[in-house]
């Protein structure tokens, strides 16, 4: 059996990855079917990609800007052809799971290239797939950031594989075209290329170009093409109105910078837990390789709000670190092996055991979302869910050009329309779709009682009347 495994390890790897992909996909799709996905962010991405696939100008009716002005994400255009095959937000969830899981394939071969140990390479894959940041990146809505692990590992693999220019260019362009903030990540990789890989000219060029590209996008191009005439995400903190001003603030005010990095304490906690999840092995890596990982934490921790989850490992913000940690572990292992205080084989066995055990410990301690595969609720369809399905079938019979408004939990089930608004925004909506069976985040930005009051007032004023109702789910029609 052992000999068989060594001979067909690539086949075993693919089978293992496919199984994990199925598990993550099942959880993601089931969560969506149970109305645990929302307007922000699945509904937002579904609407604009649906519009691209139909040749409609990709303006979001959630934030009123186009696909490139919200975030500079040309990578999303590549998803539109998938909607020709199956036009559904589930397509995004499944694609996201596939890309993130099978990023482990080139990661495995990067480990094999540097450390010729199947056990260690599989432990690297295991630590990546079950890191909390990986799990939440896959299972918390959909985000373009989940493509970054693939591009990052391609860059490192290209550098190690006789500088494969094609893979290198794909990785570079991929990061630049995924989201404007990842230009800064690429800049930090430029420093790694300079200091670790000793490609000084290439490293300096990538560093300088990436910094320039980021400020070109945020200060000029994106405001220029935006319907609002400004950079959509200029509110980095209460002390700066733009990324440029924020950068100046961090340089000229070291007290502010230090306080931003260490407060609230959740930031320090995230840092400790993240390194603990990989047995603190990354701390032994050459500093040149650590630069992109440390930069990721700097970018996330310097952010002061209002989205506090930006510095936690509970969503897509953790996606780049999710791949950088195992990559750094590979280089740390290489450095540890060179110490030769123990036999190389014994060192790699110890490191493999540490990686696997700390990953499992993290999953148990922090109740990782993959555990939901064992929850009975994931397989149950409650009556209020069936009522929602009936209401959705009714509203989907209407023309996609008719404007509607829906609450947060129903939005991604109705987002493939030219105009769909998030309640309480109504504008010219002819239909409103609501479900008054209470639940977490269902009515954001409203609270449950506020949604009830909104529906009550609209009916009392006779501006809208009940068009169809199933239990607590209903469609209101403009009178």
pLDDT digits (tens, 9 = 90+) for 107-117: 999 999 999 89
Indicate if 455 and 360 belong to the same structural domain: no
Provide the β-strand partners of residue 468.
475
Contact 234, 243 (CB under 8 A): yes
Indicate if 254 and 123 belong to the same structural domain: yes
Asked if the model's pLDDT at residue 87 lies above 70, the reply is yes
The separation between CA 120 and the C-alpha centre of its own chain, rounded to angstroms, equals 27
pLDDT, mean of residues 121-125: 97
> Of 367, 368, 369, 290, which is closest to residue 324 (Cα–Cα)?
290
How far is 383 from 362, CA to CA, in rounded Å? 35
**pLDDT of the residue at 339:** 80
**pLDDT tens column, 23-41:** 999 999 999 999 999 999 9
pLDDT, mean of residues 10-17: 95
**pLDDT of the residue at 239:** 73
Indicate if 125 and 8 belong to the same structural domain: yes
Please identify, among 374, 402, 430, the residue that sits at the C-terminal boundary of a domain. Answer: 374
Please identify, among 374, 399, 426, the residue that sits at the C-terminal boundary of a domain. Answer: 374
pLDDT, mean of residues 50-55: 97
Pairing of strands 431-435, 404-406: parallel
Please identify, among 351, 374, 397, the residue that sits at the C-terminal boundary of a domain. Answer: 374
Strand order across the 431-435 sheet: 420-422, 404-406, 431-435, 473-478, 464-470
CA angle, 310 then 377 then 45, to 5°: 40
Pairing of strands 464-470, 404-406: unpaired
**pLDDT of the residue at 237:** 61
How far is 361 from 214, CA to CA, in rounded Å? 38
C-alpha distances (whole Å) from 245 to each of 238, 242, 252, 253, 310 are 11, 5, 10, 12, 20
Residue 423: which pLDDT band, with cuts at 50, 70 and 90?
A: very high
Indicate if 136 and 255 belong to the same structural domain: yes
**pLDDT tens column, 157-210:** 999 999 999 999 999 999 999 999 999 999 999 999 999 999 999 999 999 999
Indicate if 274 and 390 belong to the same structural domain: no
| Cis bond upstream, residue 445 (ω within 30) | yes
Query: Which has the higher per-residue pLDDT, 3 or 410?
Result: 410
**pLDDT of the residue at 341:** 66
pLDDT over 70, % of the chain: 96
**Average pLDDT value over all residues in the chain:** 94
State the total domains in the chain.
Answer: 2
Indicate if 127 and 178 belong to the same structural domain: yes
How far is 39 from 61, CA to CA, in rounded Å? 11
| 165 burial level (CB within 10 Å; 0-12, 13-18, 19+) | exposed
Q: Which domain holds residue 429?
A: 383-478
**pLDDT tens column, 267-321:** 999 999 999 999 999 999 999 999 999 999 999 998 766 777 888 999 999 999 9
Indicate if 103 and 232 belong to the same structural domain: yes
Handedness of CA 140, 267, 208, 193 (dihedral sign): negative
Indicate if 348 and 393 belong to the same structural domain: no
Beta-carbon contacts of 408 under 8 Å, excluding residues fewer than 6 positions away, are 38, 39, 40, 422, 423, 441, 442, 443, 444, 445
Give the residue carrying structure tokens 């092995």.
281
Contact 47, 62 (CB under 8 A): yes
Provide the β-strand partners of residue 66.
59
Indicate if 55 and 135 belong to the same structural domain: yes
Indicate if 326 and 457 belong to the same structural domain: no
| 254 burial level (CB within 10 Å; 0-12, 13-18, 19+) | exposed
The DSSP result for 390-432, as a single string, is HHHHHHTTS-TTS-EEE-TTTGGGS-SSS-EEETT--TT-SEE
**pLDDT tens column, 233-276:** 765 566 777 888 888 888 999 998 999 899 889 999 999 999 99
Contact 406, 423 (CB under 8 A): yes
**pLDDT of the residue at 342:** 67
Indicate if 443 and 301 belong to the same structural domain: no
Angle of helix 319-337 relative to helix 266-277, nearest 10 degrees?
Answer: 50
Indicate if 289 and 414 belong to the same structural domain: no
């Amino acid at each position: 059996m052992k000999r068989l495994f060594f001979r067909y390890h690539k086949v075993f790897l693919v089978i293992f990855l496919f199984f994990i992909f199925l598990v993550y996909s099942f959880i993601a799709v089931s969560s969506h079917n149970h109305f645990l996905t929302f307007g922000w962010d699945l509904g937002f991405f579904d609407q604009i990609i649906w519009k691209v696939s139909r040749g409609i100008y990709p303006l979001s009716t959630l934030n009123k800007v186009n696909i490139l002005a919200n975030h500079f994400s040309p990578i999303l255009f590549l998803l539109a052809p998938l909607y020709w095959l199956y036009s559904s937000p589930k397509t995004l969830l499944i694609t996201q799971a596939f890309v993130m899981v099978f990023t482990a394939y080139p990661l495995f071969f990067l480990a094999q290239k540097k450390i010729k140990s199947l056990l260690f390479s599989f432990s690297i894959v295991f630590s990546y797939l079950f890191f909390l940041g990986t799990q939440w990146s896959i299972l918390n809505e959909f985000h373009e950031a989940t493509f970054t692990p693939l591009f990052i590992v391609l860059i490192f693999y290209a550098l190690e594989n006789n500088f494969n220019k094609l893979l290198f260019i794909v990785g570079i362009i991929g990061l630049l075209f995924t989201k404007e903030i990842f230009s800064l990540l690429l800049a930090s990789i430029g420093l790694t290329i300079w200091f670790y890989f000793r490609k000084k000219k290439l490293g300096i060029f990538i560093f300088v170009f990436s910094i320039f590209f980021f400020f070109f996008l945020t200060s000029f191009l994106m405001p220029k093409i935006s319907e609002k005439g400004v950079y959509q995400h200029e509110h980095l903190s209460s002390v700066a109105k733009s990324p440029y001003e924020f950068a100046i603030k961090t340089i000229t005010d070291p007290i502010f910078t230090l306080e931003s990095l260490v407060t609230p304490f959740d930031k320090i906690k995230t840092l400790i837990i993240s390194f603990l999840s990989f047995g603190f092995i990354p701390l032994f890596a050459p500093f040149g390789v650590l630069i992109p990982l440390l930069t990721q934490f700097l970018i996330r921790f310097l952010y002061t709000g209002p989205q506090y989850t930006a510095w936690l490992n509970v969503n897509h913000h953790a996606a780049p670190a999710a791949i950088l940690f195992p990559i750094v572990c590979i280089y740390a292992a290489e450095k540890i092996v060179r110490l030769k205080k123990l036999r190389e084989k014994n060192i790699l066995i110890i490191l493999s055991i540490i990686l696997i055990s700390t990953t499992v410990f993290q999953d148990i301690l922090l109740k990782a979302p993959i555990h939901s595969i064992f929850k009975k609720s994931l397989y149950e369809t409650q009556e209020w869910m069936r009522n929602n399905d009936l209401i959705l079938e009714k509203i989907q019979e209407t023309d996609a050009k008719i404007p509607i408004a829906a609450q947060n939990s129903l939005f991604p089930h109705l987002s493939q329309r030219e105009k769909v608004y998030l309640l309480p925004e109504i504008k010219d909506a002819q239909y409103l779709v609501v479900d008054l069976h209470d639940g977490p985040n269902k009515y954001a930005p409203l609270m449950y009682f506020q949604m009830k009051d909104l529906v009550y007032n609209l009916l009392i004023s006779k501006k809208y009347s009940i068009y169809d109702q199933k239990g607590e789910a209903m469609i209101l029609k403009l009178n």
